[in-house]
Amino acid sequence: MLDDLVTIIPGDSTRMDITEIVSATTTVVMVWLGQNLPGILTALLLQVVGWIFARWAGRWVRNVLERSGRMDATVIPVISSVVRYGILIIVVVASLNQLGVPTTSILAALGAAGLAIGLALQGTLANIAAGFMLLWLRPFRVGDYIDAEGNAGTVREIGLFATELDTFDGIYRFVPNSQIWSKAIYNYTRNPARMTDMEVGIAYGADIEKARQIMLDLANGDDRVVNYPEPIVFVSSLDDSAVTLRYRVWIKTADYWGTQRYLLEESKRQFDTAGVEIPFPQRVVHVVHDDPDDRAEIANPPPPVTAPVSPDATAGHRPDEGG
C-alpha cells in the first residue's frame, strides 16, 4: 500500500498541499478496497455466521447431552462451552486468512506473548485450572448443597471460570472456582443419610424410660429414618432445671430437615399426652436460719431509740423563730 502511495504522489511529498495528500490517500484506500473488498466481505460474513453457528452448536450439544441421560450434569456446561469457543477460534483464524493476514505469524506472536498473557491473567488461569480439577475429582455435583468455608449454597452450575450457587434464602452467588478449590469443601448431600443430634430436656421427676421409649417409637415408626445405625436416646447431662436427653437419629438426606422438625415437634406432643413434663428454667432458693434468737429478732424488731432533748436547749425560742 505504501508503494502505491509513492507511485501516485510524485516528487517531494513534503511540498505538496494538504488537499493533494488527502486526495492521494483516498485514492490509495479506494484502490486497496477494490482489490480486497471480496476478502473483507467474506471475512465479515464468516464472523456473523460463525458467531451464530457457535452459539447454536453450544446449545445443541448441551441439549443432546442432557436428553441422552448418560452424561453427568456437572460436565455438560463445560463441554458446551469448549465446543462454542473452539468454533469461534476457527472462525477468527479463517477470517484473518480472507484478509490476507499470515495466520502463522500471528500464532507465533501469540505464542511469544503467552508468558506475558499468563502473568497478566494469573487469577483467570487459576480459576480455569481449579474448574478442571473440580470436574475431574468431582467433590460435588449439580444439585448438591455445599459449604466451602463461607461459600454455601446449592450448586447450580460448574463453569470454566466460576461456580454458580443458590443460597437457602434464594440469593444467587457467583463464586470463582479458585475460591472453592482452595478451601475445605463440606458436601451435605453427597452421602445417602445424615445424623441429626437433638437435645430434649425433661423434669427431674419425669420417667426417663417413658420419655426414651416415646422418642424411639417415633423414630422407628418413620419411613424416612434409616434402620442402621439404629436411633438412640441417652442422658447427656444433668442441668440446673432439667435432665437433658440426647436424641440421635440417622435420616435419609433428601428428607433430613423435614424429618428433624417433625421428630422434635411430635416428641413435645407425645410428652404432653403421656404426662412427661418439659420444665421451664427455674431455681429453688432455701433460706436457713440457725439461731432461734436471730429469727425472733428479725420477726419482732425492737422500737427505735431517740435521744432526749434538754429543756434549756429550747428556752427563749418560739417555733417560728430561727436559730
Using one digit for the tens of pLDDT, what is the confidence trace for 32-77?
666 666 777 777 888 888 888 888 888 888 888 778 766 667 677 7
User: Do the strands 193-202 and 243-252 form a parallel or antiparallel pair, or are they unpaired?
Assistant: antiparallel
Q: Stretch 309-322: mean pLDDT, rounded? A: 50
Tell me, what's the pLDDT at 323?
A: 43
Q: Is the model more confident about 234 or about 305?
A: 234
Q: Smallest Cα–Cα separation from 229: which of 195, 255, 253?
A: 195
The full set of domain ranges for the chain reads 2-104, 122-187, 193-274
- Domain 2-104 shares a fold with domain 122-187: no
Average pLDDT, the chain: 79
> Distance (Å, rounded) from C-alpha 232 to C-alpha 4?
93
Instruction: Give dist(CA 77, CA 65) in Å, integer.
Output: 10
- Predicted local confidence at residue 234, as pLDDT: 94
Q: Would you state the pLDDT for residue 193?
A: 94
Which residue's entry shows cell 436427653? 245
Sheet containing 186-187: order of strands: 172-176, 162-166, 151-158, 145-148, 186-187
Q: Which of 142, 172, 150, 177 is nearest to 162 (CA)?
A: 177
pLDDT at 270: 93
Task: Say how far apart CA 294 and CA 291 lie, in whole Å.
Answer: 5
Q: Is the pLDDT of residue 108 over 80?
A: no
Residue 322 has what pLDDT?
Answer: 46
User: Residues 6 or more apart from 191 whose CB is under 8 A from it?
Assistant: 253
- The pLDDT, as a whole number, for residue 121 is 61
Cell readout for 162 is 466460576
* Burial of 215 (C-beta count, 10 Å sphere; 0-12/13-18/19+): buried
- Output the CATH code of domain 2-104: 1.10.287
Is the domain 193-274 a CATH 3.30.70.100 member? yes
Q: What kind of fold does domain 122-187 have according to CATH?
A: SH3 type barrels. (2.30.30)
Cell triple for 304: 427505735
Q: Is the peptide bond before 229 cis (omega within 30 degrees of 0)?
A: yes
Which of 8-17, 21-30, 300-309 shows the lowest per-residue confidence on average (mean pLDDT)? 8-17
Q: What is the mean pLDDT of residues 218-236?
A: 92
For residue 15, give the C-alpha cell: 511540498
* 311 pLDDT tier (thresholds 50, 70, 90): low
**pTM of the full structure:** 0.58
- Report how far apart, in Å, the C-alpha atoms of 160 and of each of 38, 74, 75, 239, 263 are: 37, 11, 10, 53, 42
Q: What is the pLDDT of residue 132?
A: 85
Mean pLDDT of 285-307: 61
CA distances from 283 to 98, 242, 245, 288 (A): 90, 11, 20, 16
